[in-house]
Structure 1
Amino acid sequence: MTGVERAAGQGAGAGPVLLGVRHHGPGSARAVRAALEQIRPRIVLIEGPPEADALIPLAADEEMRPPVALLAHAVDEPGRSAFWPLAGFSPEWVAIRWALEHDVPARFIDLPATHTLAWGRQEDEAGPERSPDAETAADGDTGPGPADPRIDPIGVLAETAGYDDPERWWEDVVEHRGAGEGDALAPFTALEEAMSALRETYGSGGHDRDPVREAYMRLQVRAAQREFEGGVAVVCGAWHVPALRRKTTVAADRSLLKGLPKVKADMTWVPWTHRRLSRASGYGAGIDSPGWYGHLFSAPDRPVERWLTKVAGLLRAEDRIVSSAHVIEAVRLAETLAAMRGRPLPGLSETTDAVRAVMCEGSDVPLELVRDRLVVGDVLGEVPSSAPAVPLQRDLTRLQRRLRLKPEALEREVELDLRKENDAARSRLLHRLRLLGIAWGEPAASRGSTGTFRETWRLRWEPELSVRIAEAGVWGTTVLSAATARTEADAVTAQGLADVTALAEHCLLAELPDALPTVMRVLADRAALDTDVGHLAQALPALVRSLRYGDVRGTDTAALAEVAAGLAERVFVGLPPACAALDGDAAEEMRRHVDAVHGAVGLLGDAPAAGHGSLRNRWQSVLRVLSGRDTVPGVIRGRAVRLLLDDGELAQDEAALLMGLALSPGTPPQDAAAWIEGFVGGGSGGGMLLVHDERLLGLVDEWLTGVPASAFTDVLPLLRRTFSAYEPGVRRTLGELVRRGPGAGGGVTAVGSGTPGFAADLDTARADAVLPVVRLLLGLDDVDENTDNHLAGVTG
């Protein structure tokens, strides 16, 4: 029976009208709308989980904006979830909207999510896992993965038609077919015939679950026909149409459904993104270019011209010179390419080639921007507040609205000033979400300020975060209570001391006062039992950062300061013995610990140490011990000397003496090279030190020229690593100083005349000339003579 005959025969006893579609295909969506207008069914059945039937009316809500997805998750295991994404150009979404607009019942008829999620659990327990959401979203009519034996029906049909690209074939035969061309059911009839031939050849095509799913769908179609006496339209993947048309007994279908595993499942609508509709997202939704497909579906006419105008607008916004003439020429080129390639209309490949040649001057760099922003896109859907949600989701939505932090698919940076109450509240929310494993925001380095009152976050909302929220709902009904409970549990189960200290830092940043006592108790217990100096050294910086941020946020950190001071004292006592007899890798790791502890002590300031004195004085005594102990590896001794020199605790004459001893002929070349690495390497700014202290540079140069040829190849890699980290300008200056020889370069220590190009004495005339500009920059309106003299000394 043809599609026309079936449409005309709607009535008692008539078979269902099966509208086989490609999920997320705008051509299929237009065809479904035209077919439904023609046949006017009494009920619309749609491939999808029947638990979502109660959610269908929400699709008519004014706040609902596709792309959205049905999210199902196991009640007792929220992390086990499945998605059914729908875009504005998805045939299923068009069918739902048509049914709601015409007051026609709509139902989902696919296998219930309760079985789908249980299947995923069995696979995880039995062998290699396959994401249940990927299984659900792929739905049998998309391309298989690299190791997936399942066939791609669209790919097979395209290859049969002589196409090497399934997307191009689909565009030519479906997307470029205008709405209203002939009988609305004709394309579905043709596609059904093609799929029937494929099913006869390939059977289930490697889709092992399809026979069970199709049996359930047949039962639902039969039930709808009995209830509505015909007048049934079914919108499903074209791959399933031959199976739904096949005559089987009710008993045979029910036998396939016996013994299916089950879990209790909840379902709701969640926002989705165009980026997650692309195959690259990992969900296998079946389209490479959701932004392009969305444009094809929404453009009322002249889609190529409108698309290229969008591209021109994007490139102009990125400061590229693109005029109306470029758009006109690009349209002409796209149409010419389509004619040369035998295509009915320009497709994405033709428009892309035209954009590359005309608007991007042959470059793929701006073309990649077009692909990212337009071809794929960052459209984020919206779900009405009346949609079902776990209590934690509702609390998060309330906080997002109150703090004016709208979820967006496009990544953006947010600068927070913690001195402002709203920004401080935003920071607390983002830190609490991170503790819950909801990575909406990631901390980034602040460009404008290094002060502790400022934070920078990169925000990007991903659909998976809805699953993470459902998972985190087991910890509490609000973000605060859930973060508190999760932090306490993580502190008790933490594996190492550094994990607990990091948790303490996050606890203060998130401002969780109820969780802090538990974290501090666990921290004190772990610190008392851990004797590994490396672990203690790793833990100290996080504690000190916590103290620093606590001051900014007004948090009581007295207990934390006491633990930090005790931890620092234990590091001071244990570090010298721990630095003895280390191999190269262990010495380098310990050198990093020394740097971290030095930075932490600097932040602690002059806090009192156990017994007498301050932590800073105690640490400087430890560095002196490390700098002069022969059993300590050279990289650590060199770094200890450098840190003392930078703090002003070691005169340049003393530093030069220690360097001379370390580089003496009796020292093995590899040990001497390691000392140099510790003294001027590792990102310590040692290059500038050598530039401005020619005596130290001369010692290094003299030692290097005296290294025996047999040992030179052994020390070269270490020296190369040390000096290659310097800025190019520093390396050039050092090379020039070495080329000139000792005393010829005008080093500060050697001749007292400053660096090359500068006079030995202050040029007061030149200094006076820039004083007005310096005063303006510093905001100094009235300055006295002493201030002027100071500025002159600086500028001179």
Structure 2
Amino acid sequence: MTGPLLLGVRHHGPGSARAVRAALDAARPEAVLIEGPPEADALLPLAADERMSPPVALLAHAVDDPGRAAFWPFAAFSPEWVAIRWALDHGAAVRFCDLPAAHSLAMMGDPTWSDDEDDDTDGDDSGEPSADGRRRGLRLDPLAVLAETAGYDDPERWWEDVVEHRAAGPADPFAPFAAVAEAMTALREAYGHGDNARDPVREAYMRLQLRAARKEHGDAVAVVCGAWHVPALAGKHTATADRALLKGLPKVKAETTWVPWTHRRLARRSGYGAGIASPGWYGHLFAAPDRPVERWMTKVAGLLRDEDHPVSSAHVIEAVRLAATLATMRGRPLAGLTETTDAVRAVMCDGSDVPLALIRDRLVVGDVLGEVPDGAPAVPLQRDLSRLQRTLRLKPEAAERELDLDLRKDTDAARSRLLHRLRVLGIDWGTPERARGTGTFRESWRLRWEPELHVRVAEAGVWGTTVLSAATARAESEAVAATALTEITALAERCLLADLPDALPLVMKALADRAALDTDVSRLARALPALARALRYGDVRGTDTAVLAEVATGLALRVCVGLPPACAGLDPDGAAEMRGHLDTVHAAIRLLPTAATSPAASVSPAATANPDGDGEAEADAGPTPAPSPTGSADAYAQADEVTGRWTAVLERLARRDTIPGVLRGRAARLLLDDGRLAEDEAARLMGLALSPGTAPGDAAAWIEGFVGAGGPGGDGSGGMLLVHDERLLALVDAWLTAVPAEAFTDVLPLLRRTFSAYEPGVRRTLGELVRRGPAQGGGAALTEAGAPGFGPGLDEARADGVLPLLDLLLGHRQPDDDLVGVGR
């Protein structure tokens, strides 16, 4: 070696990684400098740990502001990772030489130093390049410029042809780097530092580190960095000038650690500046340098077979042949991702892009998640979370998966508490889903671990050293800071689900204080459902909710008092909003515990078989609740009073003419569903609402409230009500046919909104009833209630038309028989 070995690479390029390994084997340097934050030098020996499995990333965050963080990802096919492992395996000194993270983190968000948060491009930018080789944000994309110069319109395709598909290296292992350095030198002469204000500072620090390494090891030093930086490191610059560039840089206290990374986060679409479009494909090229196309097609076939697609060995053979033919026709040295994708689409997917999307997601990108040894530095909260994940057998995975929990089981209940506590801390590892089946003891979650969650854990570390203590402190802080009643009620619900008993007293006090001062019925109505949902989980989780029940019932009583006056004199928009409050309050009051459903009354010795099938009995109600404190009986008695008061409120709303039609109709419907309004009385109220003296718009609003979709379920069950009660359908039909032509246009949008929410089967059944028409061939048949209904008769002539075809299908009639005019 006649000087330091400058190995300019493309981050996450398998061709670059193989070339770096060959160059290092040939040069045998004593020291290797890697582009990365020097604060992580102490973490480099962990790369040799057998439990370290890439993809991994260095995470650096500001100690005083953990949300200010940056990642330096490494895959198995990253040249930097290959260089680190080579140095550790061969006893060479290895350290990072890029600008310290203390400065990089301090520069974040400062337009003086960066026009983009992604500071490390080196030809791998996430944006689309323009004609002059620049991408969005005026950042230079060197690969785009070189590809355009070579006559390519796709930088990825050019890079694959000249680097990734050259499996056999040249006789001179340093030749590729010399060529890349020459190209980058020409680009730097034309574009300078590419409008990136941070690059000159970074390169000045790299030169200082290179001088220090040469002073210790002479010229037996190798530098592995982005190819864009090679001309700056090879040029002549004085140490004095470099130190002047670094003088006065902003600085923060930073900490670094290794964290698992994913192939999905390496993908270009993830937003990482040095991302690549196909990490799974590149990983395959690196792991299978011989016969890569054949091995890739075998992987694709295995995936499609696992998804029940009929793929045979013949498909694999033909796909390989087609990919090779396409590469020859296009003048490429080897079939690339474009050719293999085209071949797979044509041969294995029958021209469909649907299975091709699965291949891209699972193989081209992939869900590989790396692993980091336990010895890696971590904040105390991360260590506690890792311990809980091992104890509860909840392994973080990059692939999205569903988790169904049975809260009657201790392990599942503990998993639920952990996931809810993490949500309190803003760590959304799991997203709650609608539980399958029935029963309040079921929970469903959708889990997916993203690398960014490590940053969220570091941020949450300011609240405590364990998940429980941190979630408790965060909940208490939110309770003090919250100003809206709905915020407090939502927080109380989260505290109960997360089982934070130490935070509940402060949250309950804040809730009671805010509820006592709030007089707006709409805000009270929005706050009540969260409390009712929280109470619903009390028995299963074994949480004492008597205090919460007292607050919830008091809130419900205030809603009962203030709702009727608030419903009078509303315009259509206000009435529509109040209808939503009516539905949510009704659903919430039905969930409030009464004397019959209190914990003392709900504990039953009845047991069900253990779902695990081990033959042991398991209490259906879960853990026995703690004894209720004094005053809880009064709370449950007050809940009984709320139910009666609410029924009286609905009856007043249903019969008061000054209330908007949509609210009167909805109140009548809720009473009917609860069995507190007789069907005959419901028909009478509808007859009054649809009488000739009622304005068509008001009548249509009443119909929307009574049979329209919406409410807590939003299931459009009003359609089924009309299907099973033909008296009500006949009333609606008679009113609709009597609407004057000049008013029909005004009520049509409201009616369309009402009936379009029904399920297709319900709409079809209603259409058949209307087509059948009233009974007795056109006369309205009077039922016992005196309301007209629809006759059950069939159109025999239309029914006769299908009988000959059925006879033919069943073999009762010959094909040449006359099928026309055959009666029954």
When normalised by structure 2's length, the TM-score is 0.87
Q: 2:173 & 2:127 partners in 1: Cα distance?
A: 31
Q: Which residue of 2 aligns with 1:518?
A: 506
Q: 2:733 & 2:345 partners in 1: Cα distance?
A: 54
1:694 maps onto 2:726 in alignment = yes
SS in 2 for 1:122: coil
Output the amino acid matched with 1:78.
P
Pairing partner for 2:70 from 64, 69, 82: 82
1:252 maps onto 2:241 in alignment = yes
Output the amino acid matched with 1:311.
V
% identity of equivalent residues: 74
Output the amino acid matched with 1:407.
P
Q: 1:417 & 1:128 partners in 2: Cα distance?
A: 50
Q: Which residue of 2 aligns with 1:304?
A: 293
Q: 2:68 & 2:398 partners in 1: Cα distance?
A: 23
Matches within 5 A, 1:377-456: 377-447=366-436, 449-456=437-444
Output the amino acid matched with 2:41.
D
Task: Tell me the CA shift for residue 604 of structure 1.
Answer: 1.8
Given that residues 188 and 231 in structure 2 are in contact (C-alpha distance below 8 angstroms), is that contact kept between their aligned partners in structure 1? yes
SS in 1 for 2:423: helix
Task: Tell me the CA shift for residue 121 of structure 1.
Answer: 4.6
Q: Which residue of 1 aligns with 2:145?
A: 156
Task: Tell me the CA shift for residue 610 of structure 1.
Answer: 7.8
Task: Tell me the CA shift for residue 339 of structure 1.
Answer: 0.1
Matches within 5 A, 1:620-699: 620-682=647-709, 683-699=715-731
1:44 maps onto 2:28 in alignment = no
SS in 2 for 1:451: coil
Task: Tell me the CA shift for residue 744 of structure 1.
Answer: 5.6
Q: Which residue of 2 aligns with 1:739?
A: 771
Given that residues 708 and 755 in structure 2 are in contact (C-alpha distance below 8 angstroms), is that contact kept between their aligned partners in structure 1? yes
Pairing partner for 2:561 from 573, 579, 600: 573
1:548 maps onto 2:531 in alignment = no
Q: Which residue of 1 aligns with 2:279?
A: 290
Task: Tell me the CA shift for residue 329 of structure 1.
Answer: 0.2
Pairing partner for 1:560 from 539, 542, 548: 548
1:527 maps onto 2:515 in alignment = yes
Q: 1:261 & 1:62 partners in 2: Cα distance?
A: 38
Distance 1:550 1:605, change over 3 A: closer
Task: Tell me the CA shift for residue 711 of structure 1.
Answer: 1.4
Given that residues 694 and 747 in structure 1 are in contact (C-alpha distance below 8 angstroms), is that contact kept between their aligned partners in structure 2? no
Task: Tell me the CA shift for residue 285 of structure 1.
Answer: 2.4
Q: 2:215 & 2:168 partners in 1: Cα distance?
A: 32
Q: 2:769 & 2:102 partners in 1: Cα distance?
A: 76
Matches within 5 A, 1:205-284: 205-284=194-273
Given that residues 56 and 371 in structure 2 are in contact (C-alpha distance below 8 angstroms), is that contact kept between their aligned partners in structure 1? yes
Given that residues 773 and 790 in structure 2 are in contact (C-alpha distance below 8 angstroms), is that contact kept between their aligned partners in structure 1? no
Once superposed, which parts of structure 1, at least 4 consecutive aligned residues long, lie more than 6 Å away?
126-129, 608-612, 745-757
Q: Which residue of 2 aligns with 1:102?
A: 90
Task: Tell me the CA shift for residue 613 of structure 1.
Answer: 5.8
1:120 maps onto 2:108 in alignment = yes
Given that residues 391 and 473 in structure 1 are in contact (C-alpha distance below 8 angstroms), is that contact kept between their aligned partners in structure 2? yes
Task: Tell me the CA shift for residue 541 of structure 1.
Answer: 1.1
Q: Which residue of 1 aligns with 2:173?
A: 184
Q: 1:135 & 1:640 partners in 2: Cα distance?
A: 60
Q: Deviations over 1:375-422 (max 9, x none)?
A: 000000111100000000000000000000000000000111000000
Greater Cα offset, 468-477 or 438-447: 438-447
Q: Deviations over 1:72-102 (max 9, x none)?
A: 0000000000111110000000000000000
Q: 1:40 & 1:26 partners in 2: Cα distance?
A: 21
Q: Deviations over 1:436-494 (max 9, x none)?
A: 000000001122x1211010000000000000000000000000000000001111112
Distance 1:754 1:414, change over 3 A: farther
Q: 2:573 & 2:257 partners in 1: Cα distance?
A: 53
Given that residues 144 and 150 in structure 1 are in contact (C-alpha distance below 8 angstroms), is that contact kept between their aligned partners in structure 2? no
Q: 1:684 & 1:300 partners in 2: Cα distance?
A: 59
Given that residues 10 and 123 in structure 2 are in contact (C-alpha distance below 8 angstroms), is that contact kept between their aligned partners in structure 1? no
Greater Cα offset, 88-97 or 742-751: 742-751
Q: 1:348 & 1:396 partners in 2: Cα distance?
A: 40
Task: Tell me the CA shift for residue 117 of structure 1.
Answer: 0.4
Q: 2:122 & 2:248 partners in 1: Cα distance?
A: 22
Distance 1:215 1:356, change over 3 A: same
Q: Which residue of 1 aligns with 2:328?
A: 339
Task: Tell me the CA shift for residue 250 of structure 1.
Answer: 0.8
Q: CA RMSD in A?
A: 1.9
1:142 maps onto 2:125 in alignment = yes
Q: Which structure is higher in helix share?
A: 1
Q: Which residue of 2 aligns with 1:793?
A: none
Q: 2:48 & 2:532 partners in 1: Cα distance?
A: 54
Given that residues 333 and 354 in structure 1 are in contact (C-alpha distance below 8 angstroms), is that contact kept between their aligned partners in structure 2? yes
Given that residues 110 and 216 in structure 1 are in contact (C-alpha distance below 8 angstroms), is that contact kept between their aligned partners in structure 2? yes
Greater Cα offset, 564-573 or 643-652: 643-652
Q: 1:708 & 1:748 partners in 2: Cα distance?
A: 27
Q: Deviations over 1:597-618 (max 9, x none)?
A: 1111111254578889632221
Given that residues 716 and 757 in structure 2 are in contact (C-alpha distance below 8 angstroms), is that contact kept between their aligned partners in structure 1? no
SS in 1 for 2:745: helix
Unpaired segments of 5 or more residues in structure 2?
A: 129-134, 596-634, 710-714, 795-824
Unpaired segments of 5 or more residues in structure 1?
A: 1-6, 10-14, 758-796
Q: Deviations over 1:502-539 (max 9, x none)?
A: 11111000000000001000000010011111111111
Q: 1:684 & 1:615 partners in 2: Cα distance?
A: 27
Output the amino acid matched with 1:347.
G
Matches within 5 A, 1:314-393: 314-393=303-382
Output the amino acid matched with 2:19.
A
Instruction: Tell me how many residue pairs correspond in the alignment.
Output: 739
Matches within 5 A, 1:466-505: 466-505=454-493
Q: Which residue of 2 aligns with 1:26?
A: 14
Task: Tell me the CA shift for residue 141 of structure 1.
Answer: 4.4
Output the amino acid matched with 1:723.
F
Matches within 5 A, 1:453-468: 453-468=441-456
Q: Which residue of 1 aligns with 2:578?
A: 590
